[in-house]
Amino acid sequence: MRLKDKVIIITGSCTGIGKAIATRCVAEGARVVIHGRDVARGEAIVKELGEDKSALHIEDITIEGAPQRLVDIAIKKFGRLDAVVNNAAMIVSSDVHTTTLPFFRNVLEVNLLAAFALIQAALPHLSSTHGNVLNIGSVNAWSGEPNLLAYSVSKGALMTLSRNLGDTLHREMGVRVNQINVGWVLTEKEVDIKRGQGLADDWYKQIPAVYAPAGRILRPEEVAAAAIYWLADESGPISGQVVELEQHPLIGRNPPKDGTTLPASAQKKS
Q: Looking at residue 201, what is its pLDDT?
A: 84
What are the percentages of helix, strand and coil residues in the chain, rounded to 5?
45, 15, 40
Q: What string of pLDDT tens digits covers the 270 residues of the chain?
A: 999 999 999 999 999 999 999 999 999 999 999 999 999 999 999 999 999 999 999 999 999 999 999 999 999 999 999 999 999 999 999 999 999 999 999 999 999 999 999 999 999 999 999 999 999 999 999 988 889 999 999 999 999 999 999 999 999 999 999 999 999 999 988 888 888 888 888 888 888 888 888 989 999 999 999 999 999 999 999 999 999 999 988 776 666 665 555 444 444 444
**Tens digit of each residue's pLDDT (9 = 90 or more) over 176-203:** 999 999 999 999 888 888 888 888 888 8
Q: Are 12 and 87 in contact (CB under 8 A)?
A: yes
Residue 247 lies in a domain: yes
Query: Is 211 one of the annotated active-site residues of the chain?
Result: no
Domain span at residue 226 reads: 7-266
The set of residues, in sequence order, having a beta carbon less than 8 Å from that of 30 and lying 6+ positions away, is: 3, 4, 5, 6, 7, 8, 53, 82, 231
What separation, in Å, do the N-terminal and C-terminal C-alpha atoms of the chain show? Answer: 30
HEC sequence for 181-223: EECCECCHHHHHHHHHCCCCCCHHHCCCCCCCCCCCCECHHHH
The count of other CB atoms within 10 Å of the CB of residue 23 is 20
Residues 173 and 236 sit within 8 Å (Cβ to Cβ): no
Tell whether 111 is covered by a domain.
Answer: yes
Let me know if residue 2 belongs to a domain: no
Position 53, amino acid: K
Choice among 151, 204, 211, 229 that is catalytic:
151
Q: What pLDDT does residue 264 have?
A: 45
**Residue 261 domain-assigned?**
yes
pLDDT of residue 13: 98
Q: Which residues does residue 137 pair with via DSSP β-bridges, in sequence order?
A: 181
Supply the pLDDT for residue 166. 98
Look at residue 1 and tell me if it is in a domain.
Answer: no
User: From residue 206, how far is each of 200, 211, 248, 251 by CA, in Å?
Assistant: 10, 10, 18, 24
| Domain CATH number, residue 43 | 3.40.50.720
Q: Domain total for the chain?
A: 1
Q: Tell me: the pLDDT tens digits for 59-107?
A: 999 999 999 999 999 999 999 999 999 999 999 999 999 999 999 999 9
Residue 114: which H helix or E strand, with range? helix 114-129
In a domain, 194, yes or no: yes
- Give the model's pLDDT for residue 254: 65
